[in-house]
Amino acid sequence: MSFYVTTPIYYGNGDPHLGHAYSTMAADILARHMRQRGEDVFFLTGTDEHGEPIAQAAEKQGITPQQLVDRSAERFRDMGRKLGATNDFFIRTTDPQHEDEVQRLIARMHERGDIYKGTYGGWYCTSCEAFYVESELDEGRNCPIHRRPVEWIEEDNWFFRLSAFRDRLLAHYDAHPGFVRPQARGNEARRMIELGLEDLSLSRAQVEWGVPVPWDPDQTIYVWIDALFNYWTALQYARPGEDLVARLWPPSVQLMAKDILKFHAVIWPALLMSAGLELPERLFIHGYVLKGGERLSKTTGNVVDPFPYIERYGLDALRYYLAREIRFGEDGTFTDETFAQRYASELANDLGNLLSRTVRMVERYRDGVVPADPGDDAELAAEVAGRVDAVREAFDRLDLTGALEAAWGLVRRLNQLVEQRKPWELAKDPANDRGLDQTLASLAEGLRAVAILVWPYIPGSAEKVLGAIGQPPDGVGLDRAAWGAGVPDARVAPVPPLFPRVEVAAT
Ligand code: MSP
């Protein structure tokens, strides 16, 4: 089965911040988990590089738009690398193959009669690159997202007959109740469609930094249309000579936050219908990362740079914290305090100490060789099986936080096991040999399952866990999480603390 997952393509006029990192990490966690299941995964991310704000930003900096987007594309690529993102391609909307394919799609929509010429006047937010109707603005005529004044813009341009898609869109929502998740966002999108859709101005006469309308080169294609099509165009050229469309289309999951719900849940499906392409299976709208009650955003100046956290606590700590603290699908607040707390109590204590204790006890009591499982721990074996199922089911619902909690339940269970069985007491009397063997075998086996279950979130640490208990670090397929699927006679290999104490408080 193929699994095609996308993030939004990020604006090429800003620096990456923790909000972007959040979407990329979530997509990466999902992609890694699906690979663990043996699915044919393709994970796409990239940058959105056309449009007026980019041209304006370049002018301000005294460079060309191309220079600006080259620079920011590199920054976003670098963000992905630093986050350990395993994306299979990085699309840039200035890629010539993308531009050609967008022109081809627009021409097809034109031929089908879904595009016509008209005059448009409307309230335009240059930051959103979107028109608003009066009722969407506040009393001061400010954009609802950026809370900045909008401008009245009037021009002749090409229109997409979005209004004509109302019934087809509603029928699609009815036939695919899981199309937009969480449900509340699906309801919100459905209401936008029900309330009536205005045709969408699809080209711009004044914007030069864009893809020319093929039959009217004085106009450029509205950047949002150009951007949305990236999810399709990437498959045309990401692997030259390979038909990725046949293998992967339509997308399985498209991730984003609610700021771009309307574009993805209303306009994007209509564009696909018009171009004669299949619609994505699922759009998942995750929440905002907030700081001080406000969402992180360049426009409000409220941004958090993820990289100092990676330097201080390590990459896995950041991935873990975001997945755990911000319930996937809901807004959540990033704070230095909760970060430090979760790092110390969950990563360093729950998992890090469990590993170091287990390794130490196997060394001390069994000369470093993990005893064979004498088979007395049926209950724990059943618990592992149950947790593997729970993780799988949570991922099916895209409950990334729930899956991590389900996996962490096993960490807690193993810590309880240590406290209940007290291997150091058992070791005092050879009559307890079998019990001690069983306890050590169960701890190692439980840790092996934990490592596999948490690998999508904290891959580097999970691989260290496997190495420390003498298991191949690349044996992370989900079926290997089954009790007893490990390599026998494993020899532990002590490692430095997985999550060393961090002295300096984060700023
Ligand atoms: N370029 C458009 C998207 C085009 S997709 C065809 C765009 N770019 S953006 O750089 O503004 O990225 C917006 C997306 O970044 C959000 O939808 C979300 O995925 C992510 N986030 C940006 N800030 C965020 C938070 N504070 N919290 C969570 N996600 C955030 O819109």
Distances (CA, A) of 342 to 317, 323, 507: 9, 12, 16
In the prediction, which pLDDT does 140 show? 87
Establish whether the linkage from the previous residue to 280 is cis, with ω within 30° of 0. no
Residue type, 385: A
* Distance (Å) from CA 417 to ligand 1 centroid: 43
* Distance (Å) from CA 211 to ligand 1 centroid: 22
Instruction: Report residue 478's pLDDT band, with 50, 70 and 90 as the boundaries.
Output: very high
* Distance (Å) from CA 62 to ligand 1 centroid: 26
pLDDT digits (tens, 9 = 90+) for 423-440: 999 999 999 999 999 999
Name which residue sits closest to atom 22 of ligand 1, judged by CA: 19
* Predicted TM-score (pTM) of this structure: 0.94
- Token couple for 450: 């934990």
Determine the atom of ligand 1 nearest the C-alpha atom of 289.
Answer: 27
**When comparing pLDDT for 266 and 156, which is higher?**
266
Instruction: Report residue 358's pLDDT band, with 50, 70 and 90 as the boundaries.
Output: very high
Ligand 1 pocket residue status of 259, Cβ below 6 Å: yes
Residue 182: phi and psi, rounded to 5, are: -60, 165
* Bridge-based pairing state of the strands 200-201 and 151-160: antiparallel
* Cβ within 8 Å of residue 100, ≥6 positions away: none
* Distance (Å) from CA 422 to ligand 1 centroid: 49
* Distance (Å) from CA 19 to ligand 1 centroid: 7
**pLDDT above 70: residue 361:** yes
Residue with tokens 């993780």: 391
- Token couple for 410: 């096993």
**pLDDT above 90: residue 163:** yes
d(CA 424, CA 445) in angstroms, rounded, equals 19
Ligand 1 pocket residue status of 21, Cβ below 6 Å: no
Ligand 1 pocket residue status of 343, Cβ below 6 Å: no
In the prediction, which pLDDT does 155 show? 82
- Token couple for 239: 């692997």
Q: Do the Cβ atoms of 317 and 460 come closer than 8 Å?
A: no
Ligand 1 pocket residue status of 48, Cβ below 6 Å: yes
Q: Do the Cβ atoms of 109 and 162 come closer than 8 Å?
A: no
CA geometry: angle 355, 358, 362, nearest 5 deg: 140
What's 151-207 look like in SS3?
EEEEEEEEEECHHHHHHHHHHHHHHCCCCEECHHHHHHHHHHHHCCCCCEECEECCC
* Bridge-based pairing state of the strands 115-125 and 130-132: antiparallel
What's 361-398 look like in SS3?
HHHHHHCCECCCCCCCCHHHHHHHHHHHHHHHHHHHCC
Instruction: Report residue 205's pLDDT band, with 50, 70 and 90 as the boundaries.
Output: confident
Ligand 1 pocket residue status of 20, Cβ below 6 Å: yes
Instruction: Report residue 505's pLDDT band, with 50, 70 and 90 as the boundaries.
Output: low
pLDDT digits (tens, 9 = 90+) for 246-258: 999 999 999 999 9
Name which residue sits closest to atom 25 of ligand 1, judged by CA: 19
Ligand 1 pocket residue status of 19, Cβ below 6 Å: yes
* Ligand 1, pocket-test mutation among 5, 13, 22, 224, most atoms within 8 A of CB: 22
d(CA 203, CA 316) in angstroms, rounded, equals 43
Q: Report long-range pairs for 354-358 (Cβ below 8 Å, ≥24 apart).
A: 354/411, 354/414, 354/415, 354/418, 354/443, 354/447, 355/447, 355/465, 355/468, 355/469, 355/495, 355/498, 356/497, 356/498, 357/418, 358/418, 358/440, 358/443, 358/444, 358/447, 358/469, 358/492
* Cβ within 8 Å of residue 13, ≥6 positions away: 53, 54, 57, 58, 68, 69, 72
Ligand 1 pocket residue status of 9, Cβ below 6 Å: yes
d(CA 385, CA 379) in angstroms, rounded, equals 10
Name which residue sits closest to atom 12 of ligand 1, judged by CA: 10
- Token couple for 248: 């992967």
Q: For the CA atoms of 117, 121, 124, 129, what is the dihedral angle to 10 degrees?
A: 0
**pLDDT above 60: residue 506:** no
* Distance (Å) from CA 198 to ligand 1 centroid: 24
In the prediction, which pLDDT does 14 show? 85
- Token couple for 473: 């670090």
Ligand 1 pocket residue status of 49, Cβ below 6 Å: no
* Distance (Å) from CA 20 to ligand 1 centroid: 6
Residue type, 100: D
pLDDT digits (tens, 9 = 90+) for 273-297: 999 999 999 999 999 999 888 888 7
* Distance (Å) from CA 80 to ligand 1 centroid: 15
* Bridge-based pairing state of the strands 289-291 and 294-295: antiparallel
Name which residue sits closest to atom 9 of ligand 1, judged by CA: 10
Determine the atom of ligand 1 nearest the C-alpha atom of 268.
Answer: 6
* Distance (Å) from CA 265 to ligand 1 centroid: 15
Q: Do the Cβ atoms of 225 and 115 come closer than 8 Å?
A: no
In the prediction, which pLDDT does 135 show? 82
In the prediction, which pLDDT does 504 show? 63
Q: Do the Cβ atoms of 411 and 351 come closer than 8 Å?
A: yes
Residue with tokens 């958090």: 304
The overall average pLDDT reported for the chain is 95
Ligand 1 pocket residue status of 260, Cβ below 6 Å: yes
Determine the atom of ligand 1 nearest the C-alpha atom of 227.
Answer: 6
d(CA 261, CA 257) in angstroms, rounded, equals 7
Name which residue sits closest to atom 23 of ligand 1, judged by CA: 19
pLDDT digits (tens, 9 = 90+) for 331-347: 999 999 999 999 999 99
Q: Do the Cβ atoms of 200 and 267 come closer than 8 Å?
A: yes
* Cβ within 8 Å of residue 122, ≥6 positions away: 131, 132, 133, 152, 153, 154, 201
DSSP secondary structure of 421-463: H-HHHHTT-GGGHHHHHHHHHHHHHHHHHHHHHHTTTSHHHHH
In the prediction, which pLDDT does 131 show? 76
* Distance (Å) from CA 3 to ligand 1 centroid: 22
* Ligand 1, pocket-test mutation among 98, 129, 145, 256, most atoms within 8 A of CB: 256
250: DSSP letter? S
142: DSSP letter? B
* Distance (Å) from CA 107 to ligand 1 centroid: 28
Q: With H, G, I as helix, E, B as strand and everything else as coil, classify residue 2.
A: strand
